[in-house]
Structure 1
Amino acid sequence: MFNALLLFFILILARAAARRWVLPLRRVPGPWLASCTRLWKLYHTFHGNMEQVNIEMHKRYGPIVRIAPFEVSIDDPEESLRVIYGPGTRFTKSRWYEASDPPGAHSLFTDADIRRHAHERRLVSSGFSMTSLLAMEDFVSECVKVFEARMTGFADSGQSVDMAHWLQCYAFDVIGEITFAKRFGFMDRGEDIGNTMQTLEGFLSYSAKMGVVPELHAPYSRLVRLFSPGSLPLETVRKMTVGYEFARAAVEERKQAGAEHRDLVARFLSTHEEKPSEFPMSEVYKMCTVMIGAGSDTTAIALRAVFYFLCKNPYKLQELRSELDDAEARGLLSDPITYAQAMRLEYLQAVLKEAMRLHPSTGFTMARVVPKGGTVLLGHNLPEGTTVGINSWVAHRNEHVFGPDVESFIPERWLRSEEDANKVTSQFGYGSRTCLGKNISLMEMSKLVPQLIRNFDIQLVHPDRPWKTTNWWLVKQADMDCYVRRIIKT
C-alpha cells in the first residue's frame, strides 16, 4: 500500500515537472504553480479577483504570462489582438465557454465552430443594425423617463439610492422593451423580480469556476440531475442560462399579443418563419435568453462605471455638465436626449469610453485555441492546442497604447488627436465576435447618462470608500450608494 502511494506521488511530481520544464511552454514565464496545475487559476477564480491578479502577473512577468499548464495570457493589444481575434482568424474559442451551456449545446456566445457561428450570426444580425435600433429608440426613451421619475422620488425623499441596483433595473427593463415590447417592471417595483438577478449571479459563478475544468461540466450535470432533483444547482445546470423559462414564456405571451411592434422578438420570429429549419423556435428562445442575461449585466456594469468615476472626479463631471449646458442653451438637446444628439457630444462620448476602459465588463482572458501549425506571439513559439487570450483589464492598461497615467480617469485622452480617438478597446469583444448588442448598450448609456447629469446632482454616500467588485467573467460592482438631488434651473 505504501509503495503504491509513493509511486502515485512520484508520478504526480513527474507530471508537474514535465509541465514546468519539458513541455514547449517551459520558456513562458509565470507563477510556478500555474505551470504545473490549473489549481492556481481555479484558486483566483474562486476568489473573484482574477482581473487584478492578471494585471499584477503582467507587471511582474512581462507581456506574456503562463496562467495554466497549457494556457498563456497576452498583453499586446495591437499585433497579437489582430492575430488572435481579427478578421479571418482560425483561433477558436476554448473549452472554458462550454460551462456556459448545457452539455453538448452551444450559443452565439459559446460556439467554437467558426463557420456555424458566422452563419447563425448572419441570421439575426439585421435586428441589431443601427437602422433597426433607431426604430426602437422610443422604447429606450420611455425607460429613461421612468428611471428619471424614480430618481426624482429619491431626491424628494432625501434618502440614499442603491445606484448599482437601480442601474441594473434600468438595463433589465430596456432589454424587456427592446426584446419583448414590454418592460419587465424592475424599475416600477424596484426589486429583483423572480430572483432573476440572483439566479444570473449564480449562473455566472458556476460557469466561471467550471470553465476552468470544463471536462467536469457534463459529469457534474449528470450527478446533480441524479442526486439533487429540484435543487438550485440543478436549475443552474439544466438551464445553463439565466431566465430561459422566463424568456420562453415572454416570447409566447408576445406571440399571443400580436402587437404591431418591431421589437427583437418580431424580427426573430420573422427569421424563424422564413427559415424554420435553420432558425427553429429553440433558437428564438435562446437568443432572447442571451439578451436578458448578457444584455442587462454588461450595460449595468458600464453605467455604474460611468457614474462612479464621475463622482470620484468632480472636475470631469463639471466638464461634462458644461458641455450639456452649452448644448442645451443652443437648443441642441431634446428631452429626453436623442441618440443622434448624444453622439455629437464629444466629451460625453469620451467619458463613456474612458469609464469602459478603466472598468470593462469582462474580467477574464477571451480564451482562444492556437490552430493547427502553431503560432508565434511575442517571440514565443506556441504549439497548436495552446490556449491564449487577452484580458481587457490588462489591455486597457497598456502604457504603450494609453500612456503612463492608465489608472487615472481622463476622458481627454480620447480627444487629443485622431489617433487617440481611434484607440482600440475590447469592451465589446473584437473582430467577428464583437458583441451583437454593442449598439443597444451604447444607446442606453448615451441617453441615460446626460439625462441624469443635466437634471441631478449625484454624490457617493461614502466618497472615500472604494466600491466592491466580484469577477465571475463579468466584473460586477456593489456598495455604490448615492445621494441624488434635483438641479433647479433658473
Structure 2
Amino acid sequence: MHLLFFLFLAPLLFIARYLISLLSLTYTTRSLRSLPGPFWARFTRLWYFRRVANGHFEEDNIQLHKKYGPVVRIAPDHYSINDRASLKTIYGTGTKFTKSAWYEGWKHPDPERWALFPDRDIKRHGETRKRFSSLYSMSSLVHYEEFVDQCADVFFQRLSEFAERDVKFNLGEWFQFYAFDVIGEITYGQRFGFLDKGHDIDGTITALQNLMAYSTLIGIYHEWHPSLFGTMSHFSWSGAGGRAYIMRYVQEKIARFKSQPKSDIDHGSLKTQTFLEKMVLAKDKDPEKVTDYHVFIMGLSNVIAGSDTTAISLSSIMYYLLHYPTVLQNLREEIDESITQGRCSDPITFKESQEMPYFQAVMKEALRMHSATGLPFWRVVPSGGAELSGHYFPEGTVVGVNAWVSHNDETVFPDAKTFRPERWIEAETDPARLKIMNELYMPFGLGSRTCLGKHISILEMSKLIPRILREFDFSTGMQKWDTSNYWFVKPTNFEAKVRRRDVKLEKS
C-alpha cells in the first residue's frame, strides 16, 4: 500500500515542483511580465525546443521580432533581443555576461573536461585564448596558405572531372569535403581524404552532424545531458556517439604524432608548420602553460568547428552569386581584370584576394545573408541585473542576439533580403553608417567570444572562390535550397553543374 501511495504521490510532487518554479519564473519579476512572445513560451521551454527541432529557427526568430518588437520572450527566462545598444552591453569588451547553460550540451558532462567553445568560465577562457590566439591570427595565415593550396588543387581536379562528365553534384557537400581536408592539413599535416575519396569517410561528417543536433537540442534541457550522454555515446548514430567518435579520432591523431621519434618529425619551415607541430613545440617549451589537454582541446575545436562554418559560408557565396547573375558578372570582371593586369597569381594569394574590393563586399554580403550560426548567442545577465532595450533584466535571466535577426534589420540594412554587395562599398563614403553596419555584422560572433578560427575560414574562402570562378561556369536549377538549422544553418541539397570557361586571359 505504501509503495502504491508513493508511486501515486511522486509524479504529483514532481508536477507541483515544476509548477512552483514555473510560477516563480513567470510572475516574480514584475519588470518582465509585460514582455511579449508566443503564449506557451511564457510557461515552458518546450515551445522553443519544438521550434528549434524543426530546423528553421533562424527564420522563426526574424518573424518573432517583426511581430513583437525588439525584445521577445521565447522561454520562461529566455529573451531574444534586437537592439544595437544592447548588443554592445551583452557582448562588448569587458562584458560580465557569461555563456548560458545551453552551452553545457556542447561539452563532455565531466566538469574537468572543459572545451574552448562551450567554456562558461570567463577567466579560464580568456587565459586559454591568449595562449593560442597567435596561431589563428591574420599574421599566421601565411603559415597555412600552402596547405590550403594543396586542397584547392584537389578540389579543382574534382570540378574538372564533373565538368567532363557533365553531371550534377552536391556542391555544398564538396565544399565541406574541401573545408574538412584543409583543417586536416593545417592541424595534422594530412588531409582527411574526403576530396580524394569523394564520400563521407567512416561516417565522420555524419557523426559531426549528429553531434550538432544532439548538442543544440540537449542544451535547451541541459540538466538532462549528464544522464543521457553516457548511454547515448554507445550508439554511433547519436550525437553523443558522434562526439565520442570525434574525440577518439583527435586523440589517435595526436598519439600517432607523438609516437614518432623526434628525429623523424619534419617540422618544416616556419611557413609550413602544422597547427599540431606548433602546439607540441609550445608544450615542450613550457609544459605548465601548454598541457596535453590544451593540445587536445584545440585539435578537437578545429575539427568540430572548422569545417561546417567554412563550408556553409562557401555555399552561401556561390548560392547567391548563381541567383544574382549581375553580381556574378561584376565579380568576374574584377577577377579577370586582376589577372590581365598581373595582380592575381596562380594560385591566387591571400594578400591578392584582399586587394579585390568587390570580392570582399561579395563575401561580406553573402555571410550577412546567410550566416553559418542560426541561433541566439545566449548569455546570462550578471550580478546586479542589466538595463537592456528599455527593460530591467534581473541577475540570472538569459538573453541573446541572433546574427540572422541583426543582419535582417531593415533600419540598418534596407531591402535586407536582397543580395547587394554594393551596400558595403557605398557605405565606405559614410563612416557613421558603415560603423553601425559593422556593429550589427556578426557571422563569427562578437567580442571576446568571436570565433577563434575566423581568419582561417576567410583564408579558405578567399583563395578558393576567385580560383574556381576564373576557370569554371556553375549553374543550378533550384530556385531555393533547403537548409537545416542545428546551430549551423546547413544547406542540404545545393546541387549544381559545372563546365570549363571558354576564356583565355593573358597578363598585359
**TM bin (shorter chain):** over 0.9
User: Is the 8 Å Cα contact of residues 207 and 242 (structure 2) preserved in structure 1?
Assistant: no
2:101 and 2:18 mapped to 1: Cα distance?
Answer: 24
- Report the CA distance shift for 1:233/1:183 in structure 2 as closer, same or farther (over 3 A): closer
Q: Amino acid of the residue matched to residue 328 of structure 1?
A: I
- Describe how 1:377-388 pairs up with structure 2 within 5 A: 377-388=388-399
After superposing the two structures, state which structure 1 stretch, 238-247 or 285-294, moved more: 238-247
- Describe how 1:213-362 pairs up with structure 2 within 5 A: 213-224=221-232, 230-232=234-236, 236-237=239-240, 240=243, 243-255=246-258, 256=260, 258-261=265-268, 262-362=273-373
The Cα shift of 1:9 comes to: 6.9
Question: Paired residue for 2:92, among 82, 86, 102?
Answer: 86
2:14 and 2:427 mapped to 1: Cα distance?
Answer: 61
Question: Paired residue for 2:478, among 463, 466, 469?
Answer: 463
Q: Secondary structure at the match of 2:499?
A: strand
2:193 and 2:243 mapped to 1: Cα distance?
Answer: 24
- Describe how 1:38-117 pairs up with structure 2 within 5 A: 38-76=45-83, 78-103=84-109, 104=111, 105-117=113-125
In structure 2, the partner of 1:141 is 149
Q: Secondary structure at the match of 1:243?
A: helix
Q: Secondary structure at the match of 1:401?
A: coil
**1:179-213 deviations in whole A, cap 9, x for unaligned?**
11111111111110111100001100100110001
The Cα shift of 1:290 comes to: 1.1
User: Is the 8 Å Cα contact of residues 186 and 275 (structure 2) preserved in structure 1?
Assistant: yes
User: Is the 8 Å Cα contact of residues 235 and 241 (structure 2) preserved in structure 1?
Assistant: no
1:135 and 1:22 mapped to 2: Cα distance?
Answer: 55
Q: Amino acid of the residue matched to residue 390 of structure 1?
A: V
**1:383-438 deviations in whole A, cap 9, x for unaligned?**
000001100010111112212x0011001111003235553211111111111111
1:441 and 1:223 mapped to 2: Cα distance?
Answer: 35
User: Is the 8 Å Cα contact of residues 242 and 293 (structure 1) preserved in structure 2?
Assistant: no
2:371 and 2:340 mapped to 1: Cα distance?
Answer: 33
Question: Paired residue for 1:166, among 144, 162, 174?
Answer: 174
2:24 and 2:143 mapped to 1: Cα distance?
Answer: 59
After superposing the two structures, state which structure 1 stretch, 258-267 or 415-424, moved more: 415-424
The Cα shift of 1:6 comes to: 8.6
In structure 1, the partner of 2:404 is 393
In structure 1, the partner of 2:417 is 407
The Cα shift of 1:44 comes to: 0.8
Q: Amino acid of the residue matched to residue 489 of structure 1?
A: V
1:239 and 1:463 mapped to 2: Cα distance?
Answer: 31
User: Is the 8 Å Cα contact of residues 241 and 290 (structure 1) preserved in structure 2?
Assistant: no
**1:217-237 deviations in whole A, cap 9, x for unaligned?**
112224547xxxx42267x43
After superposing the two structures, state which structure 1 stretch, 8-17 or 43-52, moved more: 8-17
Aligned residues: 481
1:383 and 1:176 mapped to 2: Cα distance?
Answer: 45
Report the identity percentage.
Answer: 41
1:351 and 1:442 mapped to 2: Cα distance?
Answer: 12
In structure 1, the partner of 2:486 is 472
Gaps of 5+ in 1: none
Question: Paired residue for 2:376, among 365, 379, 394?
Answer: 365
User: Is the 8 Å Cα contact of residues 116 and 297 (structure 2) preserved in structure 1?
Assistant: no
Gaps of 5+ in 2: none
The Cα shift of 1:130 comes to: 2.1
1:11 and 1:115 mapped to 2: Cα distance?
Answer: 35
The Cα shift of 1:17 comes to: 5.2
1:278 and 1:239 mapped to 2: Cα distance?
Answer: 30
User: Is the 8 Å Cα contact of residues 415 and 421 (structure 1) preserved in structure 2?
Assistant: no
Q: Amino acid of the residue matched to residue 33 of structure 1?
A: W
In the alignment, does 2:461 pair up with 1:445?
yes
C-alpha root-mean-square deviation of aligned residues, in Å? 2.1
Q: Secondary structure at the match of 2:474?
A: strand
In structure 1, the partner of 2:203 is 195
The Cα shift of 1:268 comes to: 1.1
2:20 and 2:457 mapped to 1: Cα distance?
Answer: 50
Q: Secondary structure at the match of 1:400?
A: coil
In structure 1, the partner of 2:445 is 429
The Cα shift of 1:97 comes to: 0.4
1:279 and 1:379 mapped to 2: Cα distance?
Answer: 44
User: Is the 8 Å Cα contact of residues 29 and 64 (structure 1) preserved in structure 2?
Assistant: yes
1:11 and 1:98 mapped to 2: Cα distance?
Answer: 23
- Report the CA distance shift for 1:90/1:325 in structure 2 as closer, same or farther (over 3 A): same
2:231 and 2:328 mapped to 1: Cα distance?
Answer: 52
Q: Amino acid of the residue matched to residue 454 of structure 1?
A: R
1:352 and 1:239 mapped to 2: Cα distance?
Answer: 31
The Cα shift of 1:69 comes to: 0.6
The Cα shift of 1:278 comes to: 3.7
Q: Secondary structure at the match of 2:126?
A: helix
Q: Amino acid of the residue matched to residue 61 of structure 1?
A: Y
Q: Amino acid of the residue matched to residue 283 of structure 1?
A: H
2:14 and 2:123 mapped to 1: Cα distance?
Answer: 43
1:281 and 1:19 mapped to 2: Cα distance?
Answer: 43
- Report the CA distance shift for 1:218/1:296 in structure 2 as closer, same or farther (over 3 A): same
Q: Amino acid of the residue matched to residue 441 of structure 1?
A: S
The Cα shift of 1:283 comes to: 2.1
Q: Amino acid of the residue matched to residue 240 of structure 2?
A: V
The Cα shift of 1:274 comes to: 2.7
After superposing the two structures, state which structure 1 stretch, 86-95 or 420-429, moved more: 420-429
After superposing the two structures, state which structure 1 stretch, 337-346 or 284-293, moved more: 284-293
